Chains A and B, each alone.
Chain A
Amino acid sequence: MFEARGLKKSYGALAVVRGVSLSVAAGERHGIIGPNGAGKTTFFNLLSGEAAADAGEVCMDGINLGKSPPDARARAGLGRSFQHNSLFAGLTVAENLAIAIAQRKKLYKIFWRGFLSRTEVFAEALDRAHRLGLGAQAHTRAAHLSHGAMRQLEIGLTLALRPKVLLLDEPTSGMSPEETAAIKNLIRRLPEELALLVIEHDMDVIFDLASHITVLDYGEVLMRGAPAEVRASPAVRARYLGMG
């Protein structure tokens, strides 16, 4: 249902992504791993439209997303979270979520009625805050949250879009073991039919969650397969896991 074909991106003389193809089926849990500088985040930026690809295409449900900007891709059902938290820092948790829900419902078109009168939006926002495990902090400003809670809200904002394809960029970076467990739980409870692409450095997390794994190296696919195959591959062990 979601497919990337031959994506390429260079910054000046530096080729960061050198022809990566990938397809994800509904319900698939697809992990992307690779050493630092392998081009993982740039690859995500090409998928979500934050960066323009030099070559290649991204298709969703058979429709070519072409050069469409990130907001059009989000409306088509492609949600992403960011490696570095990108929140509305001055707003509370519930307000952050309400803004995201309002975008899903395309409420930005409404300029004549009060936002606060849309009680269903705020009820859903509070409900989502609870399900993220942030119920107690629903009225805390995002800037005052702990790092782990920010990461949860980061994912929660994207989930509020009800995406068909979800791109998570290092959801557990910089987290304590307990916080990592909370994120793993959150990912396990994602809707069945959702296609998940996740970049992750924590190998335990990725081998635990993913049904498929793609290994990127120097902007190219080094190998692809089930977690057990990737774990057993001598090439991956030599290049990446450092256990060759």
Chain B
Amino acid sequence: MLKTVTRAPDVRDPLAAALVAAAAMAWLFTGDFGKEVLSEVAVFAIFAMSLDLLVGCAGLVSLGHAAFFALGAYAVAAFGVFVNLPMWMAMPLAVAVTAVAAAAAGFFAVRLGGVFFIMMTLAIGQMVYAFFLNSRAFNADDGMAGIGRVDFSFLALDSGEPAVFSAFAVCAAVAVFLLLRMVARSPFGHTLAALRRNEPRLRSLGCPVLRCKLAAFTLAGALAGFAGALAAQHNGFISPDLAFWTVSGEVLVMVIVGGMGSLSGAALGAALVILLRHHLAGLTEFWVFYLGVLFVLMVLFAEGGVAGMLSRLPRKLHRRGGNV
């Protein structure tokens, strides 16, 4: 939000800078497995940031955001495998398809207020899951393999290399961060934030709230589709599980853990949750249980998430320093 209207905006974002530095360190100093994890973190950071536009900025909680993640992945697979398009073309087409789907779903969803919007998004997510699970064209629950990656051969690079693909994914995440930061700082973004605070009043001030919500829903869906298109290339494989409700839940946990309303927080949340999952995967097969416990605890006790705690930290240190 705008801090004060007279002071120049604070353009520094130490958390974002730290995350980019950490990604660079990870890229430089880890092996192939570390770079695979880095790619995964970057993809989920895009996914989580797109959800944060809805949840953190506009206050629209979606429990079905994985629907668009999966749609992006399936669309890129369809264009790549069925139509045989190169990924450079398949990716923007997949994002466009997802944007259209998000606009169509959002047309109904944004009309519903509060809890009903949440229920509707959950239903949308489950319907997309059910569709892919029953769809013979996409091999139903077996999914599809053999999805290629973007071609960097014009730079004499092989995108099959984890080093190349993870660098590409991190750059994509930075680009999405910059795009969403621009949106959040625009009059449109501030209007969304006002909508979160007091929708009836904003409407009475002449703001076409339904159109604004639909625009946010579509943009968030399209970017989730972009994340899905990257995930499909990263794994080389897609299945209906991409749309499963636990995926929607997981990305929401990332946003809540990182801190709603903070884009870099969402990216941090993605990194924390994925690292935690990789860590716990070796220790327990009941990852979902711990995810649920984390979810409940974060909702109950840590409203600002980790980003909120970090932003309070300098002030606390300052105060302590002042007392001594």
A contacts B directly (C-beta below 8 A): yes
Enumerate chain A interface residues (CB-CB to B < 8 A): 48, 50, 69-72, 74-75, 79-80, 82, 86-92, 94-95, 98-100, 102-104, 107-116, 118, 122, 125-126, 139, 157-158, 160-161
CB distance from B113 to the nearest CB of A (A): 13
Contact status A122-B188, CB under 8 Å: no
Binary A-proximity of B179-214 (CB < 8 A = 1, otherwise 0):
000110111111100100110111111111110100
Say yes or no for B6: interface residue by CB 8 A criterion: yes
Contacting pair A114 B206 (CB below 8 A):
no
Using A92-B4, A98-B5, A125-B5 as known contacts, say yes or no to A87 and B205 having CB atoms under 8 A apart. no
Q: Is the CB of A110 within 8 A of B203?
A: no
Chain B minimum-CB-distance residue to A106: B206
**Which residues of A are found within 8 Å of B208, using beta-carbon distances?**
71-72, 75, 108
Q: Is the CB of B205 within 8 A of A90?
A: no
Are the C-beta atoms of B194 and A99 separated by less than 8 Å? Answer: yes
B14 CB-CB contact with A under 8 Å: no
Pairwise interchain contact B187-A90, C-beta atoms closer than 8 A? no
Q: Per DSSP, are chain B's interface residues mostly helix, strand or loop, or mixed?
A: helix
Contact A110 B188 (CB under 8 A): yes
Please report the total number of B residues contacting A with Cβ < 8 Å. 32
Contact yes or no, A116 B212, CB < 8 A: no
Query: Is the C-beta of B9 less than 8 angstroms from some C-beta in chain A?
Result: yes
For the A-B complex, the count of residue pairs with Cβ-Cβ distances under 8 Å equals: 126
Do B204 and A50 have beta carbons less than 8 Å apart?
yes
Residues of B within 8 A of A98 (CB): 2, 5
Residues of B close to A125: CB separation below 8 A: 5
Return the contact of A99 from the options B8, B202, B210 (Cβ within 8 A): B202
Name the interface residues of B1-36: CB closer than 8 Å to any CB of A.
Answer: 1-2, 4-6, 8-9
Contact yes or no, A116 B5, CB < 8 A = yes
Q: Chain A contacts of B209 at CB under 8 A? A: 71
Q: B201–A115 contact, CB under 8 A?
A: no
Bound state CA distance, A28 and B183, in angstroms?
A: 42
Closest residue on chain B to residue A92 by CB atoms: B4
Q: How far is the CA of A108 from the CA of B58 in the complex (A)?
A: 13
A112 to B6, CA, bound (A): 21
Q: A71-B209, A100-B205 known; A112 and B182 CB under 8 Å? A: yes
Q: Are B2 and A115 in contact (CB under 8 A)?
A: yes
Chain A CB within 10 Å — which of B186, B197, B215 has the most? B186
Q: Which of A99, A107, A109, A161 has the largest number of chain B CB atoms within 10 A?
A: A99
